[in-house]
Every structure is written in structure tokens, then in C-alpha cells.
């Protein structure tokens, strides 16, 4: 009933300019801080009359918000295939190991995931999809008797690595020059490089396709390349 009520409201909105009026966008915690500062000005250039109401949350909560119509679309990591939801691939984001400046690996060219066993790992808490993706790509982090520290924030993880507590794995967008810290050294993984696939998800019945297209175009623009969009659900 909630979804149908939201759909009726959206249909009424679609009778006007689809790029005018509030757009409610969700994003997972590990994407929002690094994508949104570039996405917002890019979207403003494309759709200046479409302000964003933004919700950061874990994937499970964003899925529920999509189904009930509390948000219009969400930027999530694949796989993500709830019934009635369309997901469109946006871009792929590789992972990198991050180590303290004085760590023996700080001068390495590459690191193999198998080498992570025995290191003090700093990971996200249970419930974050990025944690699951890291452990799937680097199962050695889940083995052995080495200590593990957990956090709810990638920025807190970065600061703990900077302090010398241990090592971690971060997505590429969290390691761009604007987030540089001289106390944290990113080291690429050896090939094949672990990565995640970021996508835009929205209800199949959502009646503002022009607004969805504007979000896609803004993501492509702020990443400096034309993104090939294809539906995966």
C-alpha cells in the first residue's frame, strides 16, 4: 500500500517536468562521501530544479526504502536483485591495501591477497556490503589468530591505519588525492585486482525516467568519462 501511494504521488509529479521537484536518492555509506561532492554539482548543471534529499544507509535499509517508496533510487554495490527493482551498472571500482607509513609494505609495488594473513586488519562492521566484498576477495583477512578491529566508517579506518594500528583495504575513490594522508600509504593489489561494481537501482514502476537518466549522466560527468549503462535486472 505504501509503495502504491508513493507511485500515485510520483505519477502526479511526472505529469509536470520530470527534472523539476525533489529527488530522493539513497547511497551506501562507502560510496556517498566520495561520490556525492562531485555528483551534486554535476547534477545541478543538468537539472538545476531537482534538489536532492539524500539518505546514507546500508544496502538492506536502502532496499526497504526503495520498495516502500521512501527513496526514488539508490547507488549500491552489486549484486543487488530485489524483485521489481531495476539495477543499472555505473562503474567498477578497484580496491587497494592501505598500510601505515612505517609499515614494511609501504615501499612495495603490489601485494597479493594471500599475504594479508597474520596482519592486524581493520574492517567495517557486519552489515556493510563492502566488508563482505573485501572478505570475499581477501579471505586471508578472516583466518589465523591476528587481531581484527572493526568500525562503521572508512574515514575512521583510515585514521586508525594512520596511527599505526594495522592495515586495511579501501575502495579507489577513498584514495584520491583529496583524501591523501602522508601517514597512510596505498599499495595496489597484484592482478587480478579485487574490485566492486557500483550500480543505480530504482523501482521498475518509477515514472520519472528523465530524472533517472540525469542521475546516470551526472555520475558519468563527475567521474570524467562516459559511463556505459546496461540493465542487470
DSSP class of residue 72 equals S
Determine contact, residues 140/166, Cβ cutoff 8 Å.
no
- pLDDT for 172-183, tens place per residue? 999 998 888 999
pLDDT at 227: 40
% the chain with pLDDT above 90: 80
pLDDT in tens, 7-30: 556 555 555 789 999 999 999 999
What pLDDT is attached to residue 179?
A: 87
112-137 average pLDDT score: 94
**Within 10 A of 148 (CB to CB), how many other CB atoms are there?**
13
| Cα separation values, 195 from 51, 169, 226, Å | 31, 11, 20
At 75-117, the pLDDT tens digits run 999 999 999 999 999 999 999 999 999 999 999 999 999 999 8
Asked if 69 contacts 204 with a C-beta cutoff of 8 angstroms, the reply is no
pLDDT score, position 226: 41
Q: Mean of the per-residue pLDDT values for the chain? A: 90
Q: How many whole angstroms separate alpha carbon 222 and alpha carbon 36? A: 9
| Greatest pairwise CA separation for the chain in angstroms | 61
Short-list 76, 84, 72, 58, CA closest to 18: 72
Q: What is the pLDDT of residue 81?
A: 93
Amino acid at each position: 500500500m505504501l509503495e502504491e501511494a508513493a507511485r500515485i504521488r510520483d505519477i502526479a509529479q511526472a505529469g509536470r517536468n520530470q527534472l523539476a521537484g525533489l529527488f530522493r536518492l539513497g547511497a551506501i555509506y562507502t560510496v556517498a562521501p566520495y561520490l556525492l561532492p562531485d555528483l551534486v554539482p554535476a547534477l545541478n548543471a543538468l537539472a538545476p530544479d531537482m534538489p536532492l534529499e539524500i539518505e546514507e544507509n546500508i544496502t538492506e535499509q536502502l532496499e526497504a526504502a526503495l520498495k516502500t517508496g521512501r527513496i526514488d533510487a539508490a547507488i549500491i554495490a552489486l549484486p543487488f536483485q530485489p524483485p521489481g527493482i531495476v539495477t543499472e551498472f555505473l562503474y567498477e571500482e578497484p580496491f587497494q591495501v592501505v598500510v601505515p607509513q612505517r609499515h614494511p609494505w609501504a615501499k612495495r609495488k603490489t601485494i597479493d591477497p594471500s599475504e594479508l594473513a597474520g596482519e592486524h586488519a581493520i574492517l567495517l562492521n557486519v552489515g556493510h556490503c563492502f566488508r563482505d566484498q573485501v572478505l570475499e576477495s581477501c579471505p586471508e583477512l578472516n583466518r589465523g589468530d591476528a587481531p581484527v578491529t572493526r568500525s562503521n566508517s572508512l574515514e575512521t579506518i583510515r585514521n586508525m591505519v594512520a596511527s599505526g594500528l594495522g592495515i586495511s583495504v579501501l575502495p579507489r575513490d577513498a584514495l584520491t588525492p583529496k583524501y591523501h594522508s602522508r601517514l597512510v600509504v596505498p599499495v595496489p593489489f597484484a592482478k587480478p585486482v579485487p574490485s566492486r561494481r557500483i550500480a543505480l537501482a530504482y523501482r521498475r514502476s518509477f515514472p520519472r525516467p528523465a530524472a533517472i537518466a540525469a542521475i546516470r549522466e551526472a555520475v558519468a560527468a563527475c567521474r570524467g568519462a562516459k559511463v556505459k549503462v546496461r540493465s542487470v535486472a
